[in-house]
């Protein structure tokens, strides 16, 4: 007994329940029908390169009843050249003849195709024709401080007079703002502000930071001492960013000789980050023994006995 015949469906020519029609019966040529519209081009005719797709083929009524296209579960195919894709065993002929899809010896096939575009993850940048230099405001303000051009206030520090522009330090520090715009009048250019308890060089560095938001490079053997003085000045004028910069720099200079002074400074002005760095250094028994033998540690015991108690209570490392 012969097996039942099957209807084959491909993406090129939709099958009919009877024998396949001739091509000239479906698509008339110009020689047979004058002015007849030409068939739309096939996907493989208009694509210049292989096309990655997902597709489903079904009877039109079945496709319309679906709530969504099952792209997630559909196999991906690449259309290219003269390849044929479809279902070689779409439906048995006897089942088709009994089904609701066959009416008046014809049926309608629906083919849904989704073309997949690969996502390009390669970073591309457009060519640059204009180069924007880095900001120069800090340099220009530093030059303004150096030349004293347009200065409208004078600070007297350690016997030296330092000219400045009151708007700049006032914008960087609430303490400067109160001193320069609270008591003084803006038009009083002859007034002199006396600064006590600060060295002239330290105040100059403080002003330089107010103008440029940076510190000048210093010799390594002098940087730690300058940072200690600036830490006190930054606390006095409530310049938070300068405090953090000095704290960070001083962490690099912690050793057996300097840790008593730095720890006392951190405790007095409540610099918790700097204090933690000192305690981290002292957590090593060898470091602790070396520090205890210094004169600086004896002074620390007298000035901040609570710190000594914290050191004694510090757990020994495993």
Tokens of 242: 């300068």
Tokens of 104: 């008046």
Its pTM stands at: 0.60
Calculate the alpha carbon distances from 82 to 11, 16, 45, 117, 301 in Å. Answer: 11, 22, 9, 21, 92
Q: b or e along 256-285 (b: 16 or more beta carbons within 10 Å of the residue's beta carbon)?
A: bebbbbbbbbbbebebeebbebbbebbeee
Q: Are 107 and 17 in contact (CB under 8 A)?
A: yes
Q: Are 291 and 260 in contact (CB under 8 A)?
A: yes
Residues written for the chain: 318
Helix (H) or strand (E) holding 24: helix 23-26
Q: Does residue 278 fall inside a structural domain?
A: no
Domains: count for the chain:
1
Q: Are 102 and 96 in contact (CB under 8 A)?
A: yes
Q: Name the nearest CA neighbour of 145 among 122, 176, 167.
A: 167
pLDDT at 120: 61
pLDDT at 107: 81
Q: Please write the tens of the pLDDT for every residue from 44-76.
A: 565 566 777 777 777 776 655 554 444 444 566
pLDDT at 11: 44
Give the residue numbers spanning the domain of 84. 51-60+75-115
Q: Which residues of the chain have pLDDT under 70?
A: 1-49, 61-87, 118-124, 183-190, 316-318
Give 160's strand partners.
157
Q: Does residue 91 fall inside a structural domain?
A: yes
Q: Does residue 102 fall inside a structural domain?
A: yes
CA atoms within 13 A on the CB side of 94: 3
pLDDT at 311: 85
Q: Name the nearest CA neighbour of 226 among 211, 205, 210, 253.
A: 205
Q: Does residue 284 fall inside a structural domain?
A: no
Phi, psi of 154 (to 5 degrees): -125, 130
pLDDT at 80: 61
Q: Please write the tens of the pLDDT for every residue from 95-148.
A: 888 888 788 888 888 877 787 776 666 666 788 899 999 999 999 999 999 999
pLDDT at 16: 45
pLDDT at 228: 96
Q: Does residue 106 fall inside a structural domain?
A: yes
Distance spanning both ends of the chain, measured CA to CA: 88
Q: Does residue 309 fall inside a structural domain?
A: no
Q: Does residue 97 fall inside a structural domain?
A: yes
SS3 of 96, please?
A: helix
Q: Does residue 168 fall inside a structural domain?
A: no
DSSP string, 196-257: -SS-HHHHHHHHHHHHHSS-----HHHHHHHHHHHHHHHHHTT-HHHHHHHHHHHHTT-STT
pLDDT at 108: 84
Helix (H) or strand (E) holding 114: strand 109-115
pLDDT at 148: 94
């Amino acid at each position: 007994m012969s097996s039942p015949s099957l209807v084959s469906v491909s993406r090129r020519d939709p099958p009919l329940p009877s024998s396949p029609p001739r091509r000239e019966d479906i698509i008339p040529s110009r020689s047979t029908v004058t002015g007849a519209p030409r068939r739309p081009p096939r996907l493989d005719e208009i694509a210049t390169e292989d096309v990655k797709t997902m597709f489903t083929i079904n009877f039109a009524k079945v496709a319309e009843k679906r709530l969504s296209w099952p792209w997630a579960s559909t196999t991906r195919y690449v259309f290219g050249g003269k390849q044929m894709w479809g279902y070689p065993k779409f439906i048995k002929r006897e089942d088709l003849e009994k089904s609701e899809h066959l009416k008046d010896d014809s049926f309608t096939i629906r083919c849904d195709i989704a073309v997949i575009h690969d996502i390009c993850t390669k970073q591309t940048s457009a060519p640059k024709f204009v180069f924007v230099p880095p900001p120069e405001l800090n340099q220009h303000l530093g030059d303004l401080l150096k030349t004293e051009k347009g200065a409208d206030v004078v600070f007297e520090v350690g016997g030296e007079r330092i000219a400045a522009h009151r708007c700049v330090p006032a914008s960087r520090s609430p303490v400067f703002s109160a001193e320069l715009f609270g008591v003084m009048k803006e038009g009083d250019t002859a007034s002199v502000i006396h600064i006590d308890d600060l060295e002239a060089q330290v105040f100059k560095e403080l002003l330089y930071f107010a103008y440029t938001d940076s510190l000048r490079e210093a010799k390594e053997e002098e940087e730690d001492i300058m940072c200690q003085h600036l830490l006190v000045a930054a606390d006095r004028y409530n310049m938070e960013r300068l405090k953090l910069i000095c704290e960070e720099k001083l962490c690099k200079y912690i050793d057996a000789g300097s840790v008593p002074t730095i720890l006392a400074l951190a405790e007095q002005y409540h610099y918790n980050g700097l204090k933690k760095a000192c305690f981290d250094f002292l957590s090593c028994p060898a470091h602790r023994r070396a520090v205890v033998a210094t004169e600086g540690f004896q002074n620390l015991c007298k000035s901040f006995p609570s710190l000594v108690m914290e050191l004694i209570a510090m757990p020994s490392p495993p």
